[in-house]
């Protein structure tokens, strides 16, 4: 019989107006990979914080078996001292330090003179980078890396510790390409063979079926059940998570494309993308697929004036436009949902009301004075339109679940009623129920004649939702597919074009 490494005993956690956890109890064994699943708001993130000592339960205990004694970790540093590490959903490393400095932050190797041994730190970091196949310089600053590579650095950083006992992975593959997902799988298997226990959180249920030995289901802060992985299916997990059956979530109503909304010609920048040409029509969803670093997000950021382009023309409804900043993009009816909602899309310390109206205060102001009545009315309307689950529009955005945060960002865009919407990784860290709600929002928008550009690293999503699909590799479009005609397109076909080396 395996040794129990972690006991969750009747844990409850309360926030103003919200019961995040309600008498949750279960155990995890040494060397076991346990999936933790549930919709956004089910209590997963709060439970992780309690396990890590970041939050203290209001009731109950989180107990860890440390060398035969049951202990409680009262803070994150104490948890790490006892071998508990977490890879959080949102990249959490020092952006202005190098990869090597992040790996060894707080425990740098020293020379005989007591100075930091920079040579050894670089050499040891290079070994970790090679092990995880990252092909980056250990002295590269984190902020210079794509967000997906930053995510890989946070994962590989775990291997620096020589006393791992419990590792928590929270949506680790959300921004990873297929090759890096395979690397992560191998790392998890290596940890298990060393007797390390894994807590694995993912909304991609196929990963759970591949990686985990067992699964614990939470719903609305309560414990539902724990089952061996061989006793569940994706459909049965969804039913336990959401309490209802879900049909094909990509089966949205299609529209006959209308007039041209957007045309991009010969679009290029200095290094990320070259000679890009595409168009978008009313009622249409066009998708962009490609590996990390293909240039998809950079194109859209340049299109909206977030970053500069060197050459190329942009036409909105047939009119040539010069977009130099996001405010000008909004003026021409282009709304941009960025891939990192917490860094670029939300003011986490401000309420929903302010976040929803943030891009459109000029529309409810007279003589520089904001109409507080209209501010509240618009926040209520657009939050309701996208089904933000919250007790009040005065709730801080940072207190919402990932899915509800994403819906607030969408509500913020809709406030300006744009005709062109760019959704960059719109369902990262979002549960299957919230995903379906976001897809229904997209369906409603295209039914109104709006056009959507979808970027997604998750091939079933971008292939399932797009009317036309553009495939990118090394900053160039290497394939274009009309999915209304080419309905037998396979993921392998897309990956082949996305891996093109010319």
How many C-beta atoms surround the C-beta of residue 71 within 10 A?
Answer: 14
Give the per-residue pLDDT at 1.
40
How far apart, in whole angstroms, are the C-alpha atoms of residue 460 and residue 413?
A: 25
Mean pLDDT of 330-341: 86
Paired sense of beta strands 476-482 and 222-228, if any: unpaired
List phi, psi (to 5°) of 99: -60, -50
Q: Which residues have a Cβ under 8 Å from the Cβ of 463 and sit 6 or more positions away?
A: 287, 289, 469, 483, 489, 491, 494
Query: Which is it for the CA torsion 80, 205, 339, 475, positive or negative?
Result: positive
Share of the chain above pLDDT 90, in %: 51
pLDDT tens for each residue of 438-495: 899 999 999 999 999 999 888 888 998 999 999 998 889 999 999 877 667 887 788 7
How far apart, in whole angstroms, are the C-alpha atoms of residue 209 and residue 223?
A: 20
Give the per-residue pLDDT at 101.
93
Give the per-residue pLDDT at 447.
95
Mean pLDDT of the chain: 88
pLDDT band at 66 (very low <50, low <70, confident <90, very high): very high
Give the per-residue pLDDT at 459.
83
pLDDT band at 502 (very low <50, low <70, confident <90, very high): very low
Give the per-residue pLDDT at 137.
94
pLDDT tens for each residue of 268-310: 988 889 999 999 999 999 999 987 778 898 999 999 988 888 8
Give the per-residue pLDDT at 147.
78
Q: How far is CA 126 from CA 95, 106, 149, 246, in A?
A: 19, 19, 15, 45
Query: In b/e form, how buried is each residue of 20-31, taking b as 16+ CB within 10 angstroms?
Result: bbbebebbbbbb
How far apart, in whole angstroms, are the C-alpha atoms of residue 392 and residue 17?
A: 10
pLDDT tens for each residue of 208-261: 999 999 999 998 889 999 999 999 988 888 788 776 555 567 888 888 999 999
């Amino acid at each position: 019989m395996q040794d129990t490494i972690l006991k969750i005993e009747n844990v409850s956690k309360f926030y103003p107006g919200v019961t995040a956890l309600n008498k949750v109890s279960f155990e995890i064994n040494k060397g076991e990979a346990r999936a933790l699943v549930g919709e956004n708001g089910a209590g997963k993130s709060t439970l992780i914080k309690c396990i890590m000592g970041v939050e203290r339960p209001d009731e109950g205990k989180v107990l860890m078996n440390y060398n035969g004694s049951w202990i409680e970790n009262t803070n994150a540093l104490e948890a790490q001292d006892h071998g508990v590490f977490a890879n959080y959903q949102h990249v959490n490393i020092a952006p202005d330090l190098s990869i090597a400095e992040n790996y060894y932050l707080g425990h740098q190797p020293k020379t005989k003179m007591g100075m930091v041994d920079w040579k050894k730190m670089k050499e040891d970091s290079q070994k970790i980078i090679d092990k995880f196949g990252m092909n980056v310089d250990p002295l590269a600053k984190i902020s210079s890396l794509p967000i997906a590579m930053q995510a890989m650095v946070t994962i590989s950083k775990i291997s620096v510790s020589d006393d791992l006992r419990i590792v928590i992975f929270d949506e680790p593959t959300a921004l990873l390409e297929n090759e890096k997902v395979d690397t992560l799988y191998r790392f998890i298997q290596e940890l298990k063979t060393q007797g390390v226990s894994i807590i694995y959180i993912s909304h991609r249920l196929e990963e759970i079926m591949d990686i985990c030995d067992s699964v614990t289901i939470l719903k609305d802060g309560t414990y539902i059940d724990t089952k061996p992985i061989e006793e569940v299916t994706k459909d049965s997990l969804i039913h336990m998570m959401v309490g209802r059956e879900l049909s094909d979530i990509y089966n949205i109503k299609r529209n006959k494309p209308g007039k041209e909304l957007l045309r991009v010609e010969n679009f290029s920048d200095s290094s990320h993308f070259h000679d890009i040409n595409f168009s978008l029509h009313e009622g249409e969803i066009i998708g962009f697929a490609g590996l990390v670093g293909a240039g998809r997000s950079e194109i859209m950021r340049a299109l909206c004036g977030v970053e500069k382009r060197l050459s190329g023309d942009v036409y909105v409804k047939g009119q040539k436009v010069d977009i130099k900043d996001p405010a000008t993009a909004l003026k021409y009816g282009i709304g941009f949902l960025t891939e990192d909602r917490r860094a670029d899309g939300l003011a986490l310390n401000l309420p929903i009301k302010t976040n929803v109206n943030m891009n459109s205060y000029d529309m409810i102001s007279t003589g520089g004075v904001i109409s507080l009545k209209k501010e509240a009315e618009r926040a209520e309307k657009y939050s309701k339109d996208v089904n933000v689950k919250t007790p009040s529009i005065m709730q801080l955005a940072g207190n919402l679940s990932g899915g509800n945060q994403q819906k607030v960002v969408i509500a913020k865009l809709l406030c300006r009623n744009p005709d062109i919407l760019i959704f960059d990784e719109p369902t990262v860290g979002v549960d299957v129920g919230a995903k379906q709600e976001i897809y229904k929002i997209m369906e409603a928008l295209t039914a109104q004649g709006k056009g959507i550009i979808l970027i997604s690293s998750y091939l079933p999503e971008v292939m399932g939702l797009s009317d036309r699909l553009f495939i990118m590799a090394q900053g160039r479009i290497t394939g274009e597919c009309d999915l209304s005609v080419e309905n037998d397109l396979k993921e392998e076909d897309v990956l082949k074009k996305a891996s093109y080396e010319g």
